[in-house]
């Protein structure tokens, strides 16, 4: 997946700000007009607003949580767009002067089974619900791939990555060919252990407890999503072995 084109994004924001700027309309000589109007037509403003909203989703993921019910003449969106423009233009400067240059995780690059199922929840600030839904989706996709509805979650993955030969109605997932090496055994034991840890330590407790409204809620949820994304990639890339 490609990264955000900053030059294009800044240009789109500038065009939106230009079209939605408030100006005094031209009037006939001797005619006074009190107030201002938007420079461009409302149709074009709406079209450019949609593009700007997608840019804001990438640059300021939580911006929608404060969006007012009504935004006359895009006045509130203009403020958010201006902030995003500064963030894009001065990102490198801010990073160098405000903190280390450590790598950051782009949520849109998580596996589609994870991010595609919870994007709207995440953008709305419902981080723990997003993790729960991602766990459900990964389980559902694994069931679909294996053609199994009789088991789920920990039991499903324990059987899928089992080192035993497949049985009737119980296919296996293989991350590499069985070459008789310790690596073959360890990689499948690791997949089973990861799945068990995720569903026993995150998914199941999350159904009965809540860590929302804590200072580190978003960061913890992001780390959990990354772990489910890794499991999703393993399942997605694995070869199915049947009897």
Q: Which long-range contacts (CB under 8 A, 24 or more apart) does 90-95 make?
A: 91/6
Cα dihedral sign for 58, 127, 191, 161? negative
pLDDT in tens, 121-165: 998 999 999 999 999 999 999 999 999 999 999 999 999 999 999
pLDDT in tens, 200-212: 999 876 554 555 5
Residue 143's CB is within 10 A of a number of other CB atoms, namely: 17
pLDDT in tens, 40-62: 999 999 999 999 999 999 898 88
DSSP assignment of the chain: -PPP-HHHHHHHHHHHHHHT-EEPPP--TT----S-EESS-HHHHHHHHHHHHHHHHHH-TTGGGG--S--GGGHHHHHHHHHHHHHHHTHHHHHHHHS-------GGGS-HHHHHHHHHHHHTT-HHHHHHHHHHHHHHHHHHHHT--S--HHHHHHHHT-SSPPBTTB-EEESS---S-HHHHHHHHHHHHHHHHHIIIIIHHHTT---TTSTTHHHHHHHHHHHHHHHHHHHHHPEEE--
Does the pTM exceed 0.75? no
């Amino acid at each position: 997946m490609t990264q955000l084109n900053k030059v294009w994004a800044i240009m789109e924001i500038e065009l939106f700000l230009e079209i939605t700027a408030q100006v005094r309309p031209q009037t006939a000589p001797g005619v006074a007009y009190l107030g201002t109007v938007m420079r461009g037509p409302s149709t074009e403003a709406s079209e450019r607003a949609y593009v700007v909203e997608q840019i804001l989703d990438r640059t300021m993921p939580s911006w929608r949580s404060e969006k007012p019910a009504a935004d006359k003449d895009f006045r509130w969106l203009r403020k958010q767009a201006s902030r995003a423009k500064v963030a894009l233009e001065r990102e490198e400067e801010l990073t160098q002067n405000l903190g280390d240059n450590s790598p950051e995780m782009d949520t849109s690059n998580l596996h589609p089974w994870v991010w595609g199922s919870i994007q709207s929840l995440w953008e709305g600030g419902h981080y723990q619900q997003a993790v729960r839904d991602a766990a459900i989706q990964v389980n559902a996709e694994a069931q679909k791939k294996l053609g199994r509805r009789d088991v789920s979650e920990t039991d499903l993955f324990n059987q899928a990555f089992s080192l035993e030969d497949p049985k009737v109605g119980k296919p296996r997932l293989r991350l590499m060919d069985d070459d008789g090496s310790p690596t073959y055994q360890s990689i499948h034991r690791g997949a089973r252990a990861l799945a068990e840890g995720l569903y026993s330590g995150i998914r199941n407790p999350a159904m009965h407890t809540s860590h929302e409204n804590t200072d580190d809620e978003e960061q913890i949820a992001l780390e959990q999503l990354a772990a489910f994304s890794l499991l999703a990639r393993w399942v997605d890339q694995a070869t199915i072995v049947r009897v």
